[in-house]
Every structure is written in C-alpha cells, then in structure tokens.
Amino acid sequence: MRVIFEPPIAEHDPTLYEAKTVTPVIEGFAAVGDEELQLYDRTGFLAIRNGFGSQATDAALCALRTILCSDDPRCESIYFESAIRDHLTLASGSEREWADALPKVPSALRASLVRKLMGFITSYPALGALAEEPELLRVISQIIGEPIRCFQDMALIKPPYGQEKPWHQDHAYFNFPLEARVVGVWIALTDVSPQMGCMHVVSGAHRAGPRPHFKRRDWQICDSEMRTYPRLAIAMQAGDVLLFDGKLPHGTPTNRTDRQRFAVQFHFAGCSAIPTTDEDRMAIFGSEGKDVRC
C-alpha cells in the first residue's frame, strides 16, 4: 500500500465558491429516463436524491471506518491531509520516514486526518456493491452509450477543517481521448452542506471542452477563469448521488466544520475507450505552447 502525504496548500479565496445552493430533485435512479438524460447532456450533471438507501450507505461507511482504523488496510493507497505532519515526531525527512512514524500517532487522530483512499472495491464488499448497483450501471451505460467499466474507485474524506480540492476537470487527470465519455459518480455517505465542502459545479461548462490546467494549489483551472462562471453548490444528504461529465469543472472548498465529510467516488468509461499517454493529455489540458497564463 502506498502512503501519500498531501502538501499544505494556501487557503483559498472564499469568493471562488460563492454559489447558488441547489439540492437533488430526481428521486432515485429509476426516475432517470430520456428527459433526465437530455438534462445531463445540457448541464453535464445529474443530482439524484436517495440513489442508495441507508442500509447500503451505513454498510459502506462502516467499511470505510474499518479501513481508517486498520493497521493494515486492504487498499492500494492512502492519502493524509497535510496537517498530519504536525503530529509526526519527525519534522523533516523522507516520506518513507514519515510513513514509519505514522504508527506512533494515536489511531483516532490518524483516522481523522485521512483525506483519500484508493483501490478498495475488490477487498470490501460493502464498497464494491455501490459500484455494482444495477440501476446506477443502467444510467451510466445510457449516458456513455456502450458497455462500461469502472476504472477508478476512491473514498474522499474531508477531515474537519480539511483542505480545498481546487476547481478542475477530471478528464485533465485521465489518459483517455478527449472524445471518450467519462462519467464520475460521487456518492455522499454523510450529509454534505456547502460549509462542509460539498461539490460545486458550473452547469453546462463541460460543453466548452478542455480548460487549460495549471500547477497552482493543485493541478487546477485558473482561479481568475473560475471567477467568471456562475457556480452551483450541490448540498446532498447521505445516499444522494452526483453523476457528472469528465469535462465538467468542479471543486470543493475547505470543510469549515468540525465534522468529517465522507464520500465515495467512482469513474466509468466505455469499454472501447483506448488509453492515451501523459503527453497526449498534457497537449490538451496543459498550458504549454498556448497563449494562456494564470
């Protein structure tokens, strides 16, 4: 298992996430028909109330808590919030030394500072079950228009006062041809308000295609570009699901509460999508050689 320590990032300007708050109005996956699929095409997202019931979300949350408390979690990688450094006895040194110092951090504190887990669906059935829900898969195959595969699973846990995930397009992180349809599935396992760092999106902006990304607080769209768009904050309840296009600009602000925010995210692509290279991706989403600055 890989252990990654996120770098500290500067606090974001709060105006970047000034947004109109909306809540999901489509009740369950079964309510997604032609009209909703057309809405997805226009807006780049669908917010679904009660995609999953409390039994499924409670079981998934319990599995995540098990991973967080385990000394040997069965996942591919674990990412710690930068604040974990304040609790490691080594102030400097290599990531290897930090990882060796982790067991000395009290387990509850350690668990409260996990930001992301990746690669767990094959080891934890309650989490794998979310990615196999037949009605969810039906909707995603209709969006993509061909047989689909889940190519990435992650748990996104914003610790109390945890850091922002700056505005970006997920496609800028994936080596797929630009025309390949990629669908993100963001499942709330706890209620998530704007104050807790809910998902923020720019409705319809996936249609403008790839935006240049820059290495700033993260690999992200320039703040000054994001300020020009009208933004929506999607307030969700546990079990609600956000489906969104890989080219939809989205981000999440700092968690301004003392509560841990839990979500699971999957990414799906069509089975026929053939992976490209980092160079191809950077030629599309990078700023080099283009007349753009940030």
Ligand X SMILES: O=C(O)CCC(=O)C(=O)O
Q: Cβ 244 to ligand X, closest distance in Å? A: 9
* DSSP code of residue 30: G
Q: Cβ 4 to ligand X, closest distance in Å? A: 13
213-232 b/e with 16+ CB inside 10 Å = b?
A: bbeebbebbbbebbeebebb
Instruction: Please classify residue 67 by burial: count the beta carbons closer than 10 Å to its beta carbon, then call 0-12 exposed, 13-18 middle and 19+ buried.
Output: buried
Do the Cβ atoms of 169 and 248 come closer than 8 Å? yes
Q: Cβ 252 to ligand X, closest distance in Å? A: 3
Do the Cβ atoms of 49 and 74 come closer than 8 Å? no
Nearer to ligand X, 88 or 239 (CB): 239
Do the Cβ atoms of 114 and 159 come closer than 8 Å? yes
Nearer to ligand X, 88 or 130 (CB): 130
Give the Cα separation of 274 and 111 in Å (integer): 37
Q: Cβ 163 to ligand X, closest distance in Å? A: 9
Q: Cβ 172 to ligand X, closest distance in Å? A: 10
Nearer to ligand X, 50 or 254 (CB): 254
Rule CB under 6 A: which residues touch ligand X?
156, 158, 165, 170, 197, 250, 252, 263
- What string of H, E and C letters represents the secondary structure of 154-183? EEEEECCCCCCEEEECHHHHCCCCCCCCEE
Nearer to ligand X, 192 or 273 (CB): 192
Nearer to ligand X, 98 or 262 (CB): 262
Give the Cα separation of 226 and 14 in Å (integer): 12
Q: How far, rounded to the nearest angstrom, does the alpha carbon of residue 151 sit from its chain's CA centroid?
A: 14
**Phi and psi for 263 in degrees, rounded to 5?**
-145, 155
Q: Cβ 116 to ligand X, closest distance in Å? A: 7
Q: Cβ 250 to ligand X, closest distance in Å? A: 6
Q: Cβ 294 to ligand X, closest distance in Å? A: 19
236-250 b/e with 16+ CB inside 10 Å = b?
A: bebbbbbbbbbbbbb
Dihedral sign (CA 15, 16, 20, 23)? negative
Give the Cα separation of 109 and 265 in Å (integer): 24
